[in-house]
Homo-oligomer: A and B are copies of this chain.
């Protein structure tokens, strides 16, 4: 199974600490050796680093780990190939533009017999089920709202329906972002944490590395991190309920009245350690 990592913040934040643990899963502490990618929004722009080689020995991953790019929204992915050969064009996250915004997408899972009808406006370049799903999602968003981007709440409702439809074909955990919100759909395994004041120490699960967030933050900062499995072993991560879509804005999941987020918001304050 692939590994997903996402970050959504209310202030530009670097992902170096989380990426250090995540990167180790690409061939060092786990067996996801079929490439990796990470994409950062910076304002309206987007930086995408892709490498079909294992992340554990990738010079590009080493650069990302050491280069503190500050971003409000990040999506990263380590690949265990199921559909599509190991190649750059099959490496997540995928990027397209819609409504003058870049969109990023990464998927964890496996869709069987999945061949959606596509209008041609968004077409896959590679041959993964994941990129087909991404094109279908954008096609549908564009068809429903041809002129302008709707509200995040409207996008959430549409994506929730789409995620259920596409999820009928198999396991469909995904992260999607337009730089303003991070949409996280859990089919089987995805969890998150919201870090906010009072900040505390965090220690990685995959490497013996700690950070004291109170030294790196201001009291107003709020950062949500979403991952396939918990990246730290001394914080409380909240599992996302299978079958639900959480939409993060400004570092926290938004409650759009559809029952998916209400239960989580009160659990997101990290325990004192």
Contact = CB atoms under 8 A, between A and B. Distances in A.
Interface of A: 42-52, 59-60, 63, 66-67, 87-91, 95-97, 99-102, 120-126, 146-147
Given A45-B88, A67-B59, A88-B46, A97 B123 contact: yes
Number of copies: 2
A38 to B, nearest CB: 12
A121 B120 contact: no
Contacts of A44: 87-89, 125-126
B125 A90 contact: no
A10 to B, nearest CB: 19
B42 A88 contact: yes
B100 A123 contact: yes
Given A97-B122, A102-B125, A120-B147, A88 B50 contact: no
Contacts of A95: 95
Contact of A48 (B48, B60, B66, B121): B48
A120 B146 contact: yes
22 contacts: A43-B87, A45-B52, A45-B87, A45-B88, A45-B89, A45-B90, A46-B88, A47-B49, A47-B51, A47-B88, A48-B48, A59-B67, A63-B63, A95-B95, A96-B96, A96-B97, A97-B122, A97-B123, A99-B123, A100-B124, A101-B125, A120-B146
Nearest to A90: B45
Given A46-B88, A97-B125, A102-B125, 12 more contacts: A43-B87, A45-B50, A45-B52, A45-B91, A45-B125, A45-B126, A48-B48, A60-B63, A63-B63, A100-B125, A120-B147, A121-B121
